[in-house]
Structure 1
Amino acid sequence: MIDQPGCGMTSPMGSDDAYLVCLNLRNQSTHELWCDGRSVCSTSYEGGTTYVLDLRRDPIAYISDPLHSLYFYMPRQAIGEACEDLGKTNIVDLALQPGQCFRDAIVNSIGQTLLPIFNRASATNQALIDHLLQGLCTYMASTYGGSSKRPEVVRGALAPWQQRLVAQMMRERTFEGISINELAEACGLSAGALARGFKKSTGMSPHQWLLSHRVDQALELMADPDVSLADIAFNTGFSDQSHFSRVFTQKMGVAPGAWRKSLANNKRVEAA
Structure 2
Amino acid sequence: MRMNHGAFGDRLGRSFHLNNPPVLHSQTRHGVRLAVTELRIDQSGYGMTSPMGNDDAYLVCLNLRKQSTHELWCDGRSVCSTAYEAGTSYVLDLRCDPIAYIGEPLHSLYFYMPRQAIVEAGEELGKTNIAGLAMLPGECFRDTIIGSIGQTLLPIFNKDAPANQSLADHLLQGLCAYMAATYSGSSIRPDIVRGALAPWQQRLVMQMMRERVFEGISIGELAEACGLSAGALARGFKRSTGMSPHQWLLSRRIDVALELMADPDTSLADIAFNAGFSDQSHFSRVFTQKMGVAPGAWRKSLANNKRVEAA
TM above 0.5, yes or no, is yes
Q: For the Cα contact (< 8 Å) 2:134–2:185, is it kept in 1?
A: yes
Say what the alpha-carbon RMSD is for the aligned residues: 3.6
1:225 to 253, 264, 273: 264
Q: Does 1:204 align with 2:243?
A: yes
| Higher mean C-alpha deviation, range 146-155 or range 185-194 | 146-155
- Write the mapping of 1:13-24 to structure 2, written as runs, cut at 5 A: 13-14=55-56, 21-24=60-63
Residue in 1 aligned with 2:97?
60
- Write the mapping of 1:168-179 to structure 2, written as runs, cut at 5 A: 168-179=207-218
Residue in 2 aligned with 1:270?
309
Q: Does 1:256 align with 2:295?
A: yes
Larger gyration radius, structure 1 or structure 2? 1
Tell me how far apart the structure 1 counterparts of residues 177 and 236 of structure 2 sit (CA, whole Å).
40
Residue in 1 aligned with 2:109?
69
Which fold has the larger relative contact order, with Cα–Cα distance below 8 Å and residues 6 or more apart in sequence? 1
Unaligned runs of 5+ in 2: 1-8, 18-47
Number of aligned residues: 258
Residue in 2 aligned with 1:8?
50
Q: TM-score, normalised by structure 2?
A: 0.68
- The alignment-based identity, stated in percent, is 64
Shift of 1:13: 2.2
Shift of 1:101: 2.0
Q: For the Cα contact (< 8 Å) 1:31–1:44, is it kept in 2?
A: no
Tell me how far apart the structure 1 counterparts of residues 49 and 148 of structure 2 sit (CA, whole Å).
28
Q: For the Cα contact (< 8 Å) 2:119–2:180, is it kept in 1?
A: no
What amino acid maps onto 1:219 in structure 2? L
Residue in 1 aligned with 2:73?
32
| Helix, strand or coil at the partner of 1:8 | coil
- Write the mapping of 1:186-197 to structure 2, written as runs, cut at 5 A: 186-197=225-236
| Helix, strand or coil at the partner of 1:264 | helix
Shift of 1:225: 1.0
Q: For the Cα contact (< 8 Å) 1:23–1:49, is it kept in 2?
A: yes
Residue in 2 aligned with 1:157?
196
Tell me how far apart the structure 2 counterparts of residues 270 and 41 of structure 1 sit (CA, whole Å).
30
Shift of 1:224: 1.0
What amino acid maps onto 1:61 in structure 2? P
Q: Does 1:42 align with 2:80?
A: yes
Tell me how far apart the structure 1 counterparts of residues 309 and 217 of structure 2 sit (CA, whole Å).
40
Shift of 1:135: 5.6
Are residues 220 and 48 of structure 1, via their aligned partners in 2, closer, same or farther at CA, if it must alter by over 3 Å?
farther
Are residues 113 and 200 of structure 1, via their aligned partners in 2, closer, same or farther at CA, if it must alter by over 3 Å?
same
Are residues 139 and 239 of structure 1, via their aligned partners in 2, closer, same or farther at CA, if it must alter by over 3 Å?
closer
Are residues 126 and 221 of structure 1, via their aligned partners in 2, closer, same or farther at CA, if it must alter by over 3 Å?
closer
Tell me how far apart the structure 2 counterparts of residues 76 and 271 of structure 1 sit (CA, whole Å).
42
Tell me how far apart the structure 2 counterparts of residues 115 and 192 of structure 1 sit (CA, whole Å).
52
Are residues 24 and 184 of structure 1, via their aligned partners in 2, closer, same or farther at CA, if it must alter by over 3 Å?
same
Are residues 21 and 151 of structure 1, via their aligned partners in 2, closer, same or farther at CA, if it must alter by over 3 Å?
farther
- Residues 116-142 of structure 1, C-alpha deviations (whole Å, 9 max, x = no match): 335444443344334434664676578
Q: Which structure carries more helix by proportion?
A: 1
Tell me how far apart the structure 2 counterparts of residues 33 and 151 of structure 1 sit (CA, whole Å).
22
| Helix, strand or coil at the partner of 1:75 | helix
| Higher mean C-alpha deviation, range 114-123 or range 228-237 | 114-123
What amino acid maps onto 2:282 in structure 1? H
Unaligned runs of 5+ in 1: none
